[in-house]
Amino acid sequence: MHADPKGVLTGVHFMDGDHACCEGALAAGARFAAGYPITPSTEVVERFAARIPTIGGIFIQMEDELAASIAIQGAVWGGAKAFTVTSGPGFSLMMEHIGLAAMTETPCVFVNVQRGGPSTGLPTLPGQADMMQARWGSHGDYGIIALCPNSPQECFDLTITAFNLSEEFRVPVMMMLDECVGHMTEKVVIPEAESIEVTPRRYTKRSPEEYRPFEPQEDLVPEMVKAGDGYRFHITGLTHDERGYPDMSVGTQDRLVRRLTEKVKPAGDGRALYETGDLDDAEVAVVSYGITSRVAQRALQLARARGIRAGKFRLITAWPFPERQIRELAGLVKAFVVPELNLGQMVYEVERSAAGKAKVIPVTHAGGTVHNPDVILDAIMEAVR
């Protein structure tokens, strides 16, 4: 299905990542947003609040992030495509409702423009230390999808992808920006609506008598309905059977939780998004994402200039982690260098996927600014030593 032209601001723009993210949401068909102001993410909803009344939709500033993160889910069950936007402390408050969305298989998008933490931390400065929280932050076992743009253009493109994946897999999708990417202003090309693919909601064609709200289809994802259409369905955060009714049996729990985790795996396996460069002859691969990937790019140039065979693997899909790709690469390179604006998060995934076949060197940073490329270069040189 093509994007609805009403939401598509076709043209060549000069805009920051936060604004581009909002445009991506509009192009993807989001007509409902709920938010609570927090730096450095607020620009996304400020733009939505300015744009939506002439497009036809709702923005509501809620009383807190708990409210925002569940208002969007009410809107989704009412039939909307919906998202919320936050940063650090607000992301922490949203955790219970990320779990609710995972459990009730509610397609929606959470944008987190990461700042330095923990707690109030560095409100106006970058961090990448919410990566594990995005994956594991809510209690219990469940699967999610998380994407990491590294430019305003990607904030636009990947927000559309995020909405599409959320509909396809019926899962909450995290857009993991960082303050630098959110606030950097660059060229953003927004294409014509006809060239933007939008994934429609997986509405059932079955009658109310035949329909079972949580009966998995072949790809493990159940079909959806919305309120008001005569299905008289029930949605609960309790463990539930295929009818959607609470069932506290161990068997039902096992089937449900395994399915919620399994169903998103294809998004990280064959279909993970990533960018590679100069890996053909590489002895060392730099694995990075978000703003750090742009600093790493400089370090890679410096390394090549010194004759070091270094290449890049840029994570775009962070979760599900592209395990297979890293495993294969581990057979080809001597070492991975993993710079990130945290004290080591995605590096554990690289280490796990490399399974001892290649050395893994973290380049940590507590956040507040970006790495000095020389520090990454040092790690690359250490890797080939």
Partner 1 sequence: MIETTLDIPADARNPVEPFLRMERMPHIWCAGCGIGTTVNCFTRALLKSKANLDKVAVVSGIGCTGRVAGYARLDSFHTTHGRAIPFATGLKLANPELQVVVYSGDGDLFAIGGNHFIHAARRNMDLKVICVNNMIYAMTGGQTAPTTPLEALTSTAPYGVSEPAFNLVSLAEAAGACYVARWTTYHVMQLSRSMEEALGKKGFCFIEVLSPCPTLYQRRNRMGDGLDAMKYYKEASKIRHGAPTSECSLSKSGEIVVGKFVDRERPDYCELLRAQMCQSLGERYAEPEVVCSR
Contact 272, 317 (CB under 8 A): yes
Angstrom distances, CA of residue 291 to CA of 124, 128, 270, 301? 15, 9, 25, 16
Half-sphere exposure in the Cβ direction for 21 (13 Å, CA): 38
Comparing CB distances to partner 1, the nearer of 189 and 227 is 227
Q: Looking at 82, 158, 284, 354, which residue binds partner 1 (CB under 8 A)?
A: 82
Tokens representing 85 are: 């936007």
Q: Looking at 57, 172, 222, 320, which residue binds partner 1 (CB under 8 A)?
A: 57
User: For the CA atoms of 110, 111, 114, 119, what is the dihedral angle to 10 degrees?
Assistant: -40
Contacts of 251 (CB under 8 A, 6+ apart): none
Q: Is there binding between residue 237 and partner 1 (CB under 8 A)?
A: yes
Of 241, 124, 265, the closest CA to residue 182 belongs to: 124
239 to 268, contacts with partner 1 by CB under 8 A? 245-246
Q: Is there binding between residue 229 and partner 1 (CB under 8 A)?
A: yes
| Number of residues forming the site for partner 1 (CB under 8 A) | 57
Comparing CB distances to partner 1, the nearer of 81 and 115 is 81
For Cα atoms 170, 324, 215, give the angle at the middle one, nearest 5 degrees.
Answer: 25
Comparing CB distances to partner 1, the nearer of 30 and 299 is 30
Q: Looking at 25, 32, 239, 335, which residue binds partner 1 (CB under 8 A)?
A: 32
315 to 344, contacts with partner 1 by CB under 8 A? none
The strand pair at 122-126 and 310-315 is best described as unpaired
Min. distance of Cβ 63 from partner 1 in angstroms?
4
Q: Looking at 10, 39, 62, 92, which residue binds partner 1 (CB under 8 A)?
A: 62
Angstrom distances, CA of residue 317 to CA of 41, 117, 124, 270, 283? 20, 22, 25, 11, 23
Tokens representing 99 are: 């779990």
Contact 268, 327 (CB under 8 A): no
Comparing CB distances to partner 1, the nearer of 82 and 303 is 82
Near partner 1 by CB under 8 A, which window of 122-130, 145-153, 230-238, 359-367?
Answer: 230-238
Q: Looking at 10, 49, 74, 215, which residue binds partner 1 (CB under 8 A)?
A: 74
Near partner 1 by CB under 8 A, which window of 49-57, 298-306, 332-340, 365-373?
Answer: 49-57
Comparing CB distances to partner 1, the nearer of 234 and 324 is 234
For Cα atoms 62, 67, 69, give the angle at the middle one, nearest 5 degrees.
Answer: 105
Q: Looking at 5, 11, 37, 56, which residue binds partner 1 (CB under 8 A)?
A: 56
Min. distance of Cβ 264 from partner 1 in angstroms?
21
Report the alpha-carbon distance of residue 114 to residue 101 in Å, rounded.
21
Report the alpha-carbon distance of residue 239 to residue 79 in Å, rounded.
23
147 to 206, contacts with partner 1 by CB under 8 A? 200-201, 203
Q: Looking at 77, 136, 274, 348, which residue binds partner 1 (CB under 8 A)?
A: 77
Min. distance of Cβ 153 from partner 1 in angstroms?
25
Tokens representing 87 are: 């940063």
Comparing CB distances to partner 1, the nearer of 62 and 381 is 62
Report the alpha-carbon distance of residue 42 to residue 35 in Å, rounded.
8
Q: Is there binding between residue 140 and partner 1 (CB under 8 A)?
A: no
98 to 127, contacts with partner 1 by CB under 8 A? 100
Strand-pairing partners, residue 312, are: 277, 286
Element (H, E) at 380: helix 373-384
DSSP annotation of 175: E
Min. distance of Cβ 68 from partner 1 in angstroms?
8
Binding site for partner 1 (CB under 8 A): 1, 4, 6, 29, 31-32, 34, 53-58, 60, 62-64, 66-68, 70-82, 96-97, 100, 200-201, 203, 207-209, 226-238, 245-246
